[in-house]
Structure formats: C-alpha cells, structure tokens
Chain A
Amino acid sequence: GQQLNQSPQSMFIQEGEDVSMNCTSSSIFNTWLWYKQDPGEGPVLLIALYKAGELTSNGRLTAQFGITRKDSFLNISASIPSDVGIYFCAGQAGARQLTFGSGTQLTVLP
C-alpha cells in the first residue's frame, strides 16, 4: 500500500525558533493535508493543498505541495508554547482514503 515517510520523528526547539518538517512518498498524491493533534485531543486540519507547487499559509504556518506531487513540507515560524503537539501529514490519491504519516512530535521549550 501507499506509505508516507514523515520526518523528523520528534523535535525539541526553543520558543521563537522556526520549525520545518516534511513528508515524502514513492507514490503520487493529488492532495496533501497537514493536521495537528494537541495532547488529549483528536487531529485538527491545519492546511490543505490541492495543486502541485502550491504554497499556502495559515498564520505562522506555511505548507507546500511538492512539484513532483510526492512530497510536502510544513514550516512554523516563531514558535510559541501552544505549538506543542503531534503534526501529521496526509496524502490522498484520487478517490482513495487518506494515507497518514507517522507524525512529528514537537516540543517547544521556554
């Protein structure tokens, strides 16, 4: 089946630093999504990307849909304590169900 390789697995950063995480796949996806799971909560959609090369921002978050359609990255600028959580990428190919990455655990140190 389709698989996504998400990295890094975990990150420890200082408050105010920028963060970058990415997902790669051997398969092509038509849609890339980024979710965040706060502690004790379910994943919540942050950004959706529908076109190769698309760059989309949501506040301090920026995500890009790779030109090859096999990768995507998420950047968080000027991190704050509430950015703590697990970030998941997800890809969708055609009418198939979403394929999720294994998550990036982000810890923001004061």
Chain B
Amino acid sequence: EAGVTQFPSHSVIEKGQTVTLRCDPISGHDNLYWYRRVMGKEIKFLLHFVKESKQDESGMPNNRFLAERTGGTYSTLKVQPAELEDSGVYFCASSQVAGVGGELFFGEGSRLTVL
C-alpha cells in the first residue's frame, strides 16, 4: 500500500513568487493534515481536513497560505506571495481516525527555500 506522497520534494523560489505543494494521502484516509517545521524548531500544525472540509485551520500563519482538498482526495497548499520566513519543511500526514488513537502517517515532506 502506498504511503503519503508529497510533491515536490524540494522547491527553491524567490521572495514574492508562488509555490504550490501537493499531498496524496493514504487511500481511504479521510483525515489529512499539514504541518511545517522551520529549521531546528518544532513541527507546527497548520490545518486539518476531514474529507474535503477544513476541520481546523487554526495553525495557518496568514492569508498568504491557501489549502484545498477538492473531492476529498489529494490536497494542495499554496503560498502566495512567498516570504523569506516561509522557508521550512512542509509535512503532510493522513489518518483513518482523528484524535486520540488515530495514528498519523507522514509524508517525506516538501522542503521550501525562499530566497
């Protein structure tokens, strides 16, 4: 069974440009999460989808970030316009069950470098 896949694995863009990250969760997982790790710091929650609905987007930094999950399958996270502080590794995770007991399966991450 395929795990969580993310694309691209690494993106280098200039400040002001746009980047779109994609995540394909494990098939059948209704719960999809986006996290971000800025270098050396903690992994921070961004948002949580249940199917195509945003269950919790309390971690989204600002309105330059837009996440979508049309059809409840794959998800995209767009950063527009990118700023230097957006650099980091963006992880996607999925789970069958949300909350306690629902194991998160992480993708390899998309490393974003904003110059």
- Which residues of A are interface residues toward B (Cβ below 8 A)? 3-4, 6, 9, 30-31, 35, 40-45, 48, 50, 88, 90, 92, 95, 97-103
Say which size band chain B's interface belongs to.
20 to 34
Q: Are A40 and B59 in contact (CB under 8 A)?
A: no
Q: Are B100 and A42 in contact (CB under 8 A)?
A: no
Instruction: Provide the residues of chain A in CB contact with B1, threshold 8 Å.
Output: none
CA distance A35 to B93 in the complex (A): 13
Q: Is the CB of B79 closer than 8 A to any CB of chain A? A: no
Main secondary structure of the interface of B (DSSP, over half): loop
Instruction: Provide the residues of chain B in CB contact with A40, threshold 8 Å.
Output: 108
- Which residues of B are interface residues toward A (Cβ below 8 A)? 4, 33, 35, 40-45, 48, 56, 58-59, 91, 93, 99-100, 103-104, 106-109
Q: Are A98 and B108 in contact (CB under 8 A)?
A: no
Q: Are A97 and B109 in contact (CB under 8 A)?
A: no
